[in-house]
Amino acid sequence: MEFQGKIALVTGASRGIGRAIAERFAKGGATIIVTATTNAIEDVAKEISSKYNVEVLGVAGNVSKEEDVEKLFNIILDKFGKIDICVNNAGITKDTLSMRMSADDFDAVINVNLRSVFLVSKAASLIMMKQKYGRIVNMSSIVGMRGNIGQANYAASKAGIIGLTKSLASEIARRNVTVNAVAPGFIDTDMTKAISDKAKEDFLSMIPMEKAGTPEDIAEAVAFLASDAAKYITGHTLVVDGGLLLR
Ligand code: NAP
C-alpha cells in the first residue's frame, strides 16, 4: 500500500493510459481524482472505487480551460484539503502533414496537450509548495524527441512538455516537489487504434522488443516517479518504449 494516505489527480483517465495510471494508484491505496471531458468519468470513478476499495472522485471538464481547472482544484481542496500527486495525462491527436494542417488543429492540440499541463501544474504546484511535498508527472511522448510525419502539432506539444517539466522542476525543487515526464513509445490504446494499419506495421517493425507497450507498462513508470523511491529524481524524462527510440 505504497500510496496509502496520498491524494492523486490523474487527468484524462476515462480510458487507456490514464485509466491504467488511476488503477495503479488505487492498487497502492491512494485516494484518486480522475478527470475526462464528459460525465462518463463518474462511472469510471465508481468502477475503480469498487474494484480496489478506495475513494475515487470523477470530475468532468476541459483541462485546457482555465475556469475548468480552477473549478477542479476548488473541488479537490474542498473535499480533500491537499494534493500529493498530479499526473498530467490528458491528450489528443489531430494528425496530418504540416502543409495541410490548419492553424485551428495546431492550436487545439497545443491547448489540450501543453496548455493544460501549464494550467494544472501551476495550480498543483502552488498547493504542493506550501505542503513542502509533491510529485508531478507529465505525459510526453518519444514523438516529442524525434518528431513524426503528420504530427507537427503533437510533436511540438510533447517537446514543449519536456521543456516545461525541466523549467518547473528547477523552480520548485527546493520545496521537495519533483516534476518529471514519461515518454511512451507505441502503446496499445484508442489513440493508436486510429492509426492506419500500414503506419502501425511500420512502427511495430521498428520496435526492438517487437511488440507494442501496454497502458500498464506506462502506469508502472508513473508510479515509480510518484513514489518515495524516486525522491531524488527531478526534471527527468523517462522513456518507456521497448527500445523504439534506439532505432
Ligand atoms: P486516449 O485513449 O485517447 O485517452 C485520452 C484521454 O484524455 C481520455 O480520457 C480523454 O477523455 C482525455 N482528454 C482528452 N481531451 C481532454 C480534455 N480537453 N480535458 C480532459 N481530458 C481530456 O489516449 P492514450 O493513448 O491513453 O494517451 C494518454 C496520454 O499518453 C496522452 O497524453 C498521449 O498523448 C500520451 N501518449 C500516448 C501514446 C500511445 O501510444 N497511446 C504514446 C505516447 C504518449 P474523454 O474520454 O472525455 O475523451
Four-way CATH pick for 7-187+215-238: 3.40.50.720, 3.30.390.30, 3.40.50.300, 3.30.300.30:
3.40.50.720
What lines the ligand 1 site, CB under 6 Å? 11-18, 35-38, 62-64, 89-92, 112, 139, 141, 184, 186-187, 189-192
Distance between CA atoms of residues 193 and 172, nearest Å: 38
pLDDT digits (tens, 9 = 90+) for 13-56: 999 999 999 999 999 999 999 999 999 999 999 999 999 999 99
Residue of 10, 15, 19 to mutate, ligand 1, most atoms within 8 A of C-beta: 15
**Which pLDDT score, from 0 to 100, does residue 186 have?**
96
Buried b (16+ CB within 10 A) or exposed e, 205-240: ebbeeeebbebebbbebbbebbeeebeeebbbbbbb
Report CA(20)–ligand 1 centroid distance (Å): 12
Counting from 1 in the atom list of ligand 1, the atom nearest the Cα of 139 is 32
For residue 154, indicate whether it is catalytic.
Answer: yes
Query: At 120, phi and psi to the nearest 5?
Result: -70, -40
**Which pLDDT score, from 0 to 100, does residue 85 have?**
99
Distance between CA atoms of residues 68 and 95, nearest Å: 26
Average the pLDDT over 166-192 and give the result.
98
Length of the chain: 247
Catalytic option among 52, 133, 154, 232: 154
In the chain, pLDDT over 90 holds for what percent of residues? Answer: 96
Q: Quick one: pLDDT band at residue 1, thresholds 50, 70, 90?
A: confident
Q: Quick one: pLDDT band at residue 199, thresholds 50, 70, 90?
A: confident
Q: For 182-225, what is the HEC assignment?
A: EEECCECCHHHHCCCHHHHHHHHHHCCCCCCECHHHHHHHHHHH
pLDDT digits (tens, 9 = 90+) for 45-68: 999 999 999 999 999 999 999 999
Hey, what's the cell of 21?
495510471
**Residue 129 burial (CB < 10 Å; 0-12/13-18/19+)?**
middle
Average the pLDDT over 167-174 and give the result.
98
Counting from 1 in the atom list of ligand 1, the atom nearest the Cα of 111 is 18
Bridge partners (DSSP) listed for residue 246: none
pTM of the model: 0.99
Q: Quick one: pLDDT band at residue 127, thresholds 50, 70, 90?
A: very high
Distance between start and end Cα atoms, the chain: 38
pLDDT digits (tens, 9 = 90+) for 113-123: 999 999 999 99
Provide the residue type at 63 as one letter: V
* Contacts (Cβ under 8 Å, ≥6 apart) of 155: 141, 143, 144, 147, 148
Provide the residue type at 21 as one letter: I
Report CA(14)–ligand 1 centroid distance (Å): 9
Distance between CA atoms of residues 4 and 169, nearest Å: 25
Hey, what's the cell of 122?
501551476
